[in-house]
Chains A and B, each alone.
Chain A
């Protein structure tokens, strides 16, 4: 059986390391030494933080974040 789940992905060509995402979604996103986002667990969004993830994706000033559905 396939289970659908959500994943946050970063478009690194758009990202300029503003860091908003790491502030809004520290459960999933930290920043590297240069200020660019590092996603834990491949960006997999657990059910508890879906709403936060949606808000974070919308808040990115560079629109570099995407929420994608993937089946596993």
Chain B
């Protein structure tokens, strides 16, 4: 519990249910009055109360947009370029097909995200803020902004901009390009000048994921010590995860360091009878049922088994589907969602997709398809302007590891009889605009 600067006592939420408090049952109420009832007003603004940046540093919060980068380090990097006033952006784009957590927050608890954005702006001295959100979340964001204006809460002008429904729309340099009006909104090369130096309107720019900002909103209220009551020393707090299974998807909040099996509400038999579990989405990695059973929600440990917590996507692949066909479809989708800018990604992902389709559908793997796919992975790793190819590589390498026996059988005997089973991994159908690159 902590007393806010206005004198009211804020009640800290119970461990493990933080962001999802009030959202789990019934129809959640996204209004500002309910938000105030639930969380109280935001203390520590305009120099009063606690130092948000100091609390963030002490909290050890890591970004929930997929990279798990220390949030205070990112804020400090933007603050260092303070010759010009920075711009702050709430990134609600969530291009990952298996993820629902950011849209859940943005539509059901928009004020939590906006509070985090406002705290970022005040800590960094920003006078411009953006919410970048998909069409489906815009009504909730816009009415939340209207409420705040009506309450006289906001001095900060917040612009709401629609994000395209493309996988890469939420990549941070793509976000900057979108806000700068560049079409299509694809990533930039940031190897020489980063968006922290020069981003929206040429200003130092902080792009922060919606869930991360929601955590910031709570740290701003209850402080670092409260935040650390859940999780481990190295990885404190909770995370939202979207669990995808044959029956549909749901969002859970998991304490970091907790076992994923129980945290995700999964049945041990369902997991143990599966082909494997995908962690971190289509740029994440596959783990075996045995590994998943013991795995805890810590990025370091998940990395050690070849996956990532990433954006918190979990998908259990049941036995009745063909894992090679599922992988081939995802890689083809990811290839199509590439920005089409970088040669190694354009040609590498296309060849991986074709070889996987050969294995899964046509019995055209030849004797060395798996070996060739792994060679391409090694060739293109780290050679894109963004991490898109690297994510696909992790997905493919780990998949060929976990489904190694299946891959070997497909290589020798052609497609299996499960190839026609309905797909479990969601593949959005969409046409994205991109540059077309001709072979040199």
Contacts and interface: CB of A to CB of B under 8 A. Distances in A.
A12 B347 contact: no
B379 interface: yes
Given A12-B344, A13-B188, 6 more contacts: A9-B192, A12-B384, A15-B343, A38-B379, A38-B383, A68-B191
B189 A13 contact: yes
Interface in A1-29: 9-19
The 9 residue pairs across chains A and B that have the minimum distance between CB atoms: A12-B342, A17-B440, A36-B343, A13-B341, A11-B189, A34-B347, A35-B440, A9-B191, A13-B385
Contacts of A35: 343, 440
Contacts of B342: 12-13, 15
A41 interface: no
Interface in B257-299: none
Given A32-B379, A34-B440, A14 B189 contact: yes
A12 B344 CA distance: 8
Nearest to B435: A13
Contacts of B341: 12-13
B439 interface: yes
20 contacts: A9-B191, A9-B192, A11-B189, A11-B192, A12-B343, A12-B383, A13-B189, A13-B342, A16-B437, A34-B343, A34-B347, A34-B348, A35-B343, A36-B343, A36-B344, A36-B347, A36-B440, A38-B379, A38-B383, A66-B191
A17 to B, nearest CB: 4
B342 to A, nearest CB: 4
Contacts of B339: 13
Interface residues of A, number: 19
A35 B347 CA distance: 10
Contacts of B189: 11-14
B191 A11 contact: yes
Contact of A34 (B187, B192, B344): B344
Which has the most chain A C-beta neighbours within 10 Å: B344, B379, B384? B344
A13 B343 CA distance: 8
A19 B439 CA distance: 13
Contacts of A9: 191-192
Given A12-B189, A12-B383, A13-B189, A18 B344 contact: no
A32 B344 contact: yes
A42 to B, nearest CB: 9
Interface in B291-349: 339, 341-345, 347-348
A21 to B, nearest CB: 13
A17 B438 CA distance: 10
B66 to A, nearest CB: 20
